[in-house]
């Protein structure tokens, strides 16, 4: 993953953490004392960051929540990205995918305009549609593989023939991500709600970073998915929680409660993983 | 397609047109006399609309191009949507797809905040991820099926087993869209670059509207794809051109040149389709 991987591993080491916090600002869930006040979007998100920045390996704003807030949301996201600490990498959870010149416009938006260190992308349109993202070799490109939702199997589990072999579609995506990783900056997304599939993907893609959402409100199995997803270095997974941290309390103690929730998740991840063995995201020797 | 279909058919009838113009504002291609000036994004797009509004059945802004312009792009898109004529439906080409509550946030963004009459969505995450869009029963939800890009077959053409039958993945998507059309507002997206696959999709989904991009700069076969995609009423397809119309000229004559390009496409579509037979988008009797 090049530059992104280096930044990620540095944050994982520095904060002893595989935890990523999803900055999904939702006015229906955020502290009522903040919602609607001037600049509340960035005040809330950066308040969460202030309370957790020594506990995480990455922050992951999901663009959907900002888009749902209209122009205020975009201005808020800009202020959040400008206010984030430089030593923690950012993942733009956008799940974009489009044809040729349009994919290039999305890549410019995510990497040049917003300035994310990595972004999630959707593989349905094919690999030429992902190349404009991957061409940003200093950024990470995390390809949806097996998503955390109950209906993810509708397409992703369909038995698919690739050459002489039949495999679920998500496996075909994982294998292809390995063979198409021309710039050394691809990764995968596999939900914590499917630890067996996560283990399978890790076996197919031993060296790719895997973003693992779904441990909080979606009730993915944190311990099982951590063990399933670790690479040989004891890292290589970015385990995301959003609502369970952000909305741990909506009272005056929202920051301390978010910190407590993040700390608990961080420590559970450290216990499940046994800490990082190597200094890089690639497998350590021995 | 309910309310969206009714609006679409009214525009198809009123303007005798199956042509949709993609409002993909690109500063690298737009008239240099406009680019960069205060409000140029909406001036250009609404100038194209002014020159073509009696020749189209829909306008389709692709969000990628506005996102690539940063906050100016979002403000421009807002001004464009506020300035569009009410009698021509809008399609938000967003290709969104995400899990549960996040998909709901995208649906709010596209339908409540931006106010599009329809949107394009990506089926990779499964049907529960599309339901928050489809629940807006007065809007159209156009599901990516076989996209226009050269690499679309990477996933979409993979032989896939559904029950006892093996079919390309895009066929599985088309069949599922028909069976999952609970709110009567689903449609499909099939590129004009694949007329044989478009004919197949039409046979599987005789009553769903199909958005057909790729007739302009992507060199899809307009006549073949029109014939392949028509429903029994002689309509049911929304044929999109973007760059070929918007950037027909970058000189002082950009509006008249865009109109001439749109008129030519409109007339070719009418000739290929033989005009609409019924008053609705559903098959006419006889």
| Contacts for A16 with CB less than 8 Å, ≥ 6 apart | A266, A270, A275, A276
Nearest residue of B to residue A242, measured between CA atoms: B102
Domain-embedded: residue A180: yes
Chain A residues near residue B155 by CB distance under 8 angstroms:
123-126, 169, 172-173
Domain of A129, in residue numbers: 2-273
Domain-embedded: residue A203: yes
Any idea what the CATH number is for the domain that residue B135 is in? 3.20.20.70
B282 to chain A, closest Cα gap in Å: 28
Number of domains in chain B: 1
B14 to chain A, closest Cα gap in Å: 31
| Cβ B126 vs Cβ A153: under 8 Å | yes
Nearest residue of B to residue A160, measured between CA atoms: B160
Structure confidence at residue B281 (pLDDT): 43
Structure confidence at residue A277 (pLDDT): 58
> Over chain B (286 residues), what is each successive 10-residue block's mean pLDDT?
88 97 97 97 98 98 98 97 97 97 97 98 98 98 97 98 96 98 96 97 97 82 94 94 96 98 97 70 39
| Contacts for A139 with CB less than 8 Å, ≥ 6 apart | A3, A4, A111, A116, A117, A118, A119, A133, A185
In Å, what is the CA distance from A185 to each residue of A118, A123, B16? Answer: 9, 15, 49
In whole angstroms, give the CA distance from residue A6 to residue A89: 10
* Residue in B98, B169, B218 closest to A95 by CB: B98
Residues of chain A with pLDDT under 50: 278-286
In whole angstroms, give the CA distance from residue B231 to residue B273: 10
Residues of A with a known catalytic role: 95
Q: What percent of chain A has pLDDT over 70?
A: 95
Nearest residue of A to residue B190, measured between CA atoms: A125
Instruction: Fill in the DSSP letter of residue B62.
Output: B
Structure confidence at residue A220 (pLDDT): 75
Q: Quick one: which H or E segment has residue B91?
A: strand B91-96
Chain A residues near residue B70 by CB distance under 8 angstroms:
109, 113
* Residue in B68, B155, B218 closest to A126 by CB: B155
| Cβ A240 vs Cβ A21: under 8 Å | yes
Domain-embedded: residue A281: no
* Residue in A106, A155, A156 closest to B67 by CB: A106
Considering the entire predicted model, what is its pTM? 0.95
Number of Cβ pairs < 8 A linking chain A and chain B: 190
Chain B residues near residue A129 by CB distance under 8 angstroms:
147, 149, 151-152
Domain-embedded: residue A59: yes
Instruction: Give the number of other Cβ atoms within 10 Å of residue A197's Cβ.
Output: 23
Provide the sign of the torsion angle of the four alpha carbons A271, A277, A280, A286, taken in this order: negative
Structure confidence at residue A285 (pLDDT): 37
Kindly name the residue from B60, B95, B146, B277 that is annotated as catalytic: B95
Three-state DSSP state, B77: helix
Do strands B19-22 and A237-241 pair parallel, antiparallel, or not at all (unpaired)? unpaired
Domain-embedded: residue B38: yes
| Cβ A125 vs Cβ B151: under 8 Å | yes
Chain A residues near residue B122 by CB distance under 8 angstroms:
95, 97, 122, 124
Chain A residues near residue B98 by CB distance under 8 angstroms:
62, 64, 95
Q: Do B169 and A152 touch (CB under 8 A)?
A: no
Domain-embedded: residue A282: no
Does ipTM exceed 0.85? yes
Structure confidence at residue A219 (pLDDT): 72
Provide the sign of the torsion angle of the four alpha carbons B207, B152, B159, A205, taken in this order: negative
A253 to chain B, closest Cα gap in Å: 25
Q: Left, alpha or beta for B126 (phi > 0: left; psi -120 to 50: alpha)?
A: left
| Cβ A120 vs Cβ A107: under 8 Å | no
In whole angstroms, give the CA distance from residue A168 to residue B37: 51
B245 to chain A, closest Cα gap in Å: 16
Smallest CA-to-CA distance from B217 within B254, B190, B243, B193 is with B243
Domain-embedded: residue B280: no
Of A22, A27, A30, A64, which to mutate for an interface test with B (greatest number of B Cβ within 10 Å)?
A: A64
In whole angstroms, give the CA distance from residue B40 to residue B27: 9
Q: Do A113 and B148 touch (CB under 8 A)?
A: no
Q: Do A113 and B152 touch (CB under 8 A)?
A: no
A179 to chain B, closest Cα gap in Å: 13
Domain-embedded: residue A44: yes
Of B22, B155, B241, which to mutate for an interface test with A (greatest number of A Cβ within 10 Å)?
A: B155
Nearest residue of A to residue B172, measured between CA atoms: A155
Q: Do B173 and A150 touch (CB under 8 A)?
A: no
Q: What is the DSSP string of A19-76?
A: EEEE----TTTS-TTTTTSTTHHHHHHHHHHHHHTTS-SEEE-BHHHHHTTHHHHHHH
């Amino acid at each position: 993953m090049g530059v992104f991987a280096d930044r990620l591993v540095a944050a994982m080491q520095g904060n002893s953490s595989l935890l990523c916090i999803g900055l999904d600002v939702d006015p229906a869930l955020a502290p009522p004392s903040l919602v609607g006040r001037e600049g509340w979007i960035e005040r809330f998100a950066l308040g969460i960051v202030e309370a957790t920045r020594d506990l995480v390996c990455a922050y992951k704003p999901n663009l959907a929540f900002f888009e749902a807030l209209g122009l205020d949301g975009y201005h808020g996201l800009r202020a959040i990205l400008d206010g984030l600490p430089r030593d923690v990498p950012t993942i733009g959870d956008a799940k974009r995918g489009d044809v040729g010149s349009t994919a290039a416009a999305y890549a410019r938006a995510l990497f040049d305009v917003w300035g994310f260190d990595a972004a999630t992308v959707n593989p349905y349109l094919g690999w030429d549609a992902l190349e404009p993202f991957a061409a940003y070799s200093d950024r990470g490109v995390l390809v949806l593989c097996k998503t955390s939702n109950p209906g993810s199997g509708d397409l992703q589990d369909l038995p698919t023939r690739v050459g002489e072999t039949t495999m679920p579609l998500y496996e075909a995506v994982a294998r292809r991500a390995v063979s198409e990783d021309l710039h050394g900056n691809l990764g995968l997304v596999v939900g914590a709600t499917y630890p067996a599939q996560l283990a399978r993907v890790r076996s197919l893609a031993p060296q790719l970073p895997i973003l693992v959402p779904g441990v909080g409100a979606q009730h993915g199995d944190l311990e099982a998915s951590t063990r399933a997803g670790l690479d040989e270095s004891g890292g290589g997974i970015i385990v995301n929680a959003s609502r369970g941290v952000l909305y741990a309390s909506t009272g005056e103690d929202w920051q301390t409660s978010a910190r407590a929730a993040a700390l608990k998740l961080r420590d559970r991840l450290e216990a499940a993983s046994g800490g990082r063995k190597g200094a890089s995201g690639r497998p350590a020797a021995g």
